[in-house]
Chain A
């Protein structure tokens, strides 16, 4: 209970509360603006965090895959040259991972910022509950002093106070959110520019990997492999020429057609044998190429995620600056609530005076 020393003092306070209500009425008009929804920005931040992490990892992984293609036995004729380049690829993978860790720290800071924005909105959404909890704590304190129960008139004043305080909290939340977003927006937009530049650089780290992967297996496979591939190229050319010959001869069954068909069968058999010989080596190259294609898709996704994220924050800042949308329904509800409280307080005052 609120310890009030005399009834006259209570009435005096009641007058104060009525004055407060007049102030609260103007406060309510300003306080009924709805806070912008921070969820789309929070979702965009989460999506960006995953995308950035995956992008750096894919780039570092691509360097390591090419490095693994360059692993050759000590007896390999180009061992020294391949080892030198293998180490360079591994060093690049390490450097890219280090930068990835710095960007991960950036994303953690941005996630923390997003959580802080959500905390402001949450405090606004739960303003009435928090005010009620504070009022309960004050009542608990009063009961320790063994004061008398709260009179109805004071109870009305408390209700009105709760209403005004909750709306004041919402107003302050709106201002805090706007100030926070406006302070952060230039920094967030700059972070978006940097991350976009990162996505483009990450793309460059794999853009020349397809030929590099083929060159790596050419070198690791040595002369035997290179000659086999060259042989395959010649067989492929012969196959195409034979197919053309057969096509030109159309359906005439003569000795020439018969010979061309025989030759084609031989070429096909030789090609199959050559393919079987190089297949295990080229499977490794295909794995690298698969990784590169996946990485390229990730970088494209990262660019989209960065653009969406920057826009989400800019939109949020504009919404907060414009004060959000005025909630007319809430404004009417508050006016009715305030009117009820005033009537109850007037009745309580009359009853006390009459008694």
Chain B
């Protein structure tokens, strides 16, 4: 039977708000939508003298939305820590892969050979500028020894 007094309209609203609260507590989105639809229907049907009840019905519609959205936002937040762990793990795998890719590109081997080439050139330039007497000779001999050692490294690279 349709409500005819303000009290009856109030009782109907109370029932609808309780249904809305129950829907939010259950986390059932379809039930929340239905509760909102019932409250919206209440606002459309209620007489002009029930404006105060309409305001409560409209606030309840908002509260159902806020309740459902708050639950969903909490769901998003609950996964944050696991997301952080995944970022760390996947970062580790990516780091290993990048290291592997650098090795595969022979980056280090090429850099070592290029450095050795530059070093030998520089040492030879210094040695050529030295005299063959006294301290200069000693330094020159040391440079020759250094070049010889680099020669050894080069031989090893050749035999790789």
Interfacial residues, chain A to chain B (CB-CB below 8 A): 2-3, 63, 66, 78, 81, 85, 88-89, 92, 95-96, 99, 102-103, 105-106, 109-110, 112-113, 115-117, 119-120, 122-124, 126-127, 130-131, 133-134, 137-138, 140-142, 144-145, 169, 172-173, 176-177, 180, 183-184, 187-188, 190-191, 194, 197-198, 201-202, 204-205, 207-209, 211-212, 214-216, 218-219, 223, 226-227, 229-230, 233
A120 CB contact (under 8 Å) in B48, B90, B101, B158: B101
B117 CB contact (under 8 Å) in A124, A137, A173: A137
- Say yes or no for B2: interface residue by CB 8 A criterion: no
Chain B residues, CB < 8 A from A215: 36, 39-40, 43, 57-59, 61-62
Evaluate whether A138 and B154 lie within 8 angstroms (CB atoms) in the complex, with A89-B66, A208-B36, A233-B44 already known: yes
- Measured CB to CB, the nearest residue on chain A to B38 is A211
- Say yes or no for B144: interface residue by CB 8 A criterion: no
Contact status A113-B29, CB under 8 Å: no
- Say yes or no for B25: interface residue by CB 8 A criterion: no
Contact status A131-B113, CB under 8 Å: no
Given pairs A92-B69, A92-B70, A207-B68, 15 additional interface contacts (CB within 8 A): A105-B87, A116-B93, A130-B105, A137-B114, A144-B124, A187-B89, A190-B82, A191-B90, A208-B32, A211-B37, A212-B61, A212-B65, A214-B40, A214-B61, A215-B58
Evaluate whether A198 and B79 lie within 8 angstroms (CB atoms) in the complex, with A140-B117, A145-B120 already known: yes
> What separation, in Å, do the CA atoms of A82 and B65 have in the docked complex?
14
Interface centre among B57, B59, B95, by most A CB within 10 Å? B59
- Measured CB to CB, the nearest residue on chain B to A234 is B44
Interface centre among B37, B54, B69, by most A CB within 10 Å? B69
Interface membership of chain B positions 84-107, coded 1 if the CB is closer than 8 angstroms to chain A and 0 otherwise: 101101110111111011011110
| Cβ-closest 10 pairs across A and B | A123-B104, A212-B65, A116-B97, A211-B36, A215-B61, A119-B101, A204-B72, A215-B58, A137-B113, A176-B100
> What separation, in Å, do the CA atoms of A172 and B29 have in the docked complex?
52
- Say yes or no for B149: interface residue by CB 8 A criterion: no
Contact status A123-B105, CB under 8 Å: yes
Contact status B76-A134, CB under 8 Å: no
Summarize B's interface: helix, strand, loop or mixed: helix
Evaluate whether A144 and B120 lie within 8 angstroms (CB atoms) in the complex, with A109-B94, A180-B97 already known: yes
- Say yes or no for B4: interface residue by CB 8 A criterion: no
Contact status A226-B54, CB under 8 Å: yes
> What separation, in Å, do the CA atoms of A5 and B19 have in the docked complex?
96
Interface centre among B64, B75, B97, by most A CB within 10 Å? B97
B97 CB contact (under 8 Å) in A89, A119, A216, A233: A119
Interfacial residues, chain B to chain A (CB-CB below 8 A): 29, 32-33, 36-37, 39-40, 43-44, 46, 48, 51, 54-55, 57-59, 61-66, 68-73, 75-77, 79-80, 82-84, 86-87, 89-91, 93-98, 100-101, 103-106, 109-110, 113-114, 116-117, 120-121, 124, 147, 151, 154-155, 157-158
> What separation, in Å, do the CA atoms of A68 and B160 have in the docked complex?
71
Chain B residues, CB < 8 A from A78: 55, 59
Evaluate whether A187 and B86 lie within 8 angstroms (CB atoms) in the complex, with A141-B120, A208-B36 already known: yes
